[in-house]
Amino acid sequence: MATEPKGPTPPVTIPQRRPDYDDGGTAVLERKTLKTEPPQMYQVVLLNDDYTPMEFVVLILQEFFSKDRETATQIMLKIHLDGKGVCGVYSKDIAATKVDQVTEMSLKNGHPLQCLSEPLE
Ligand code: TYC
């Protein structure tokens, strides 16, 4: 076994770190509070008229607004009595597509059913 040389211990130099020195370590960044507004939503409504058959409106509510038959019938009757009723609430594009689909189906079947979308709030 080699023997350690005896004598005074040399002074230890601790390297000083410059404050702007990037050692590639972890940095804590200040978090910016980015507020993202929720998207504007639109309700799709059906209007009452004197000619569109009740059954057709019920089928529209089932087909395009995913309502079960009971719920669809209740919404249809509400529209029939109040003149107007909400079928669903969607983003702008989806609401516009629903309006187009309902309008196309109504025209194809010779019914004057009116469907429109309204911004909420
Ligand atoms: N009022 C129609 C009738 O008596 C039924 C109806 C309900 C029509 C809802 C449109 O959005 C409507 N046949």
The mean per-residue pLDDT over the stretch 108-114 comes to: 98
Q: In this predicted structure, what is the pLDDT of residue 42?
A: 98
Q: Name which CATH class applies to 51-119.
A: alpha beta
Atom of ligand 1 nearest to the CA of 46: 11
Note the pTM of the prediction, 2 decimals: 0.75
What are the domain boundaries of the chain? Answer: 51-119
Cβ partners under 8 Å of residue 116, min gap 6: 44, 45, 47, 99
Residue that is written with structure tokens 């003149």 in the block: 83
Model pLDDT for residues 33-78, shown as the tens digit of each residue: 889 999 999 999 999 999 999 999 999 999 999 999 999 999 999 9
Q: In this predicted structure, what is the pLDDT of residue 34?
A: 85
Q: In this predicted structure, what is the pLDDT of residue 110?
A: 98
Q: Tell me the best of 45, 52, 106 to mutate to test the pocket of ligand 1, counting ligand atoms within 8 Å of each CB and taking the most.
A: 52
Q: Which range has the worst mean pLDDT, 5-19, 68-82, 103-117?
A: 5-19
- 120 against 19, higher pLDDT: 120
Closest to 98 measured CA to CA, from 68, 63, 49: 63
